[in-house]
Amino acid sequence: MTKPLHLIVAGGGIGGLAAAFVLAGKGHTVTVLEQSAAFGEIGAGIQLGPNIFKMFDYLGLTEAVNQVAYFPPGLGMNDVRTGEQVIRVPLGETARAAYGYPYGLIYRADLHQVFLDACRAQPQVRLRTASKLASFEQDAHSVRVQLASGEVLQGDALIGADGLWSRVREAVVGDGKPRVSGHIAYRAVLKRQDVPAHLWNDEVLLWGGERTHLVHYPLRRGELFNLVAVFHSDKYDEGWNTFGDSAELNERFANAVPQVRELLSRIETWKMWVLCDREPVRNWSDRRVTLLGDAAHPMLQYLAQGAGQAIEDAVVLGQALRHTHDDVQQAFQQYQQERYLRTGRVQLTARFYGDIYHASGVQRELRNQMFQGGQESAGFAGLKWMYQGIDPDNLFH
């Protein structure tokens, strides 16, 4: 290292905190700007593939994650109308044997807390709340960030980890609003004691139907039960924390098997969000400014890789700075060059999996036949390129 950099990270979500933790670990000073009054995450469950556990291992966070994660024995898909099993993929030791790392489930707020605690333990990380980025400008040597309060901060570089509606992306890429998929998701989390024994399932189970699906799985060592119902609709609000319409939800699942309808009936209050992504781009950097996570490559949730790809971004960014001896502009170019094809592939594959889950007519019959006939025993292996992850120590050679 020539000299420690002062790096400003816009966004205090999982991606922003992962970046701060990684970069502080490389000896840099990092200021994280969170626009809300407190650091926190919207409560919902997320799935963590082996590629993400590989990153936890690299970052020394495996133990902290394992304390709050849940490791399901399998992952399956049933037809929501008939109840027939479409496919089941064993996880547990099968996943570990295939990829060297497990497949797990975690409450998003718990994962965020792991990174928040890790950042708080780093003296080089400064965590700021109520600090909304309003604008920024840069010259050959530095970046100046103006906050909504009028305060101005100066640093060596800016990392936009400010999510789907990123203000930093607006200035760097300028591609307008996100692409609205037409899918909305309703989510809820139940305590285990509120789930009848005959409805409890230790596995990740997705009930796929025509333009709808329900997925459920345990969280937090089996203390909670996460449910996400997705369907196509033109009724939505742009945001992540809006109360949903139970009547529309029940209407969309009116033809579902009894256990699905009964599960949905156990929920008194649903939160909803509209699912959006963007077209993949190969350039998300401008000199001393770059993007990370959803700001760079927002994706639909059908591969459960949004948080994981943001964490991979953070690791690659740290390695790029090390490889370029902290030449910010060169590092940002190497970082995006290393990432854009992989993240773009996840973005596009996630769209395709949404079609598979929501298939109807001949497409549905073909899907069921292929999976049930074992022709797609690759249901898990078909994503080998994704789950094998990246090798941080062998980048940029």
H/E element, 48: strand 45-48
Within a 10 A sphere around the Cβ of 268, how many other Cβ atoms? 9
Residue 351's contacts (CB-CB under 8 Å, 6 or more residues apart) are 181, 277, 300, 302
Question: Residue 244's closest CA among 261, 269, 226?
Answer: 269
Question: Residue 246's closest CA among 261, 234, 258, 256?
Answer: 261
* Identity of the amino acid at 169: R
CA distance 219 to 117: 20
H/E element, 85: strand 85-90
CA distance 219 to 225: 6
CA distance 58 to 369: 40
CA distance 35 to 338: 29
Which are the catalytic amino acids?
Answer: 217
Within a 10 A sphere around the Cβ of 96, how many other Cβ atoms? 15
- Using alpha carbons only, how large is the chain's radius of gyration in Å? 21
H/E element, 168: helix 167-172
CA distance 42 to 19: 19
CB 323 within 8 A of CB 334: yes
* Structure-token match 């959006």, residue found: 276
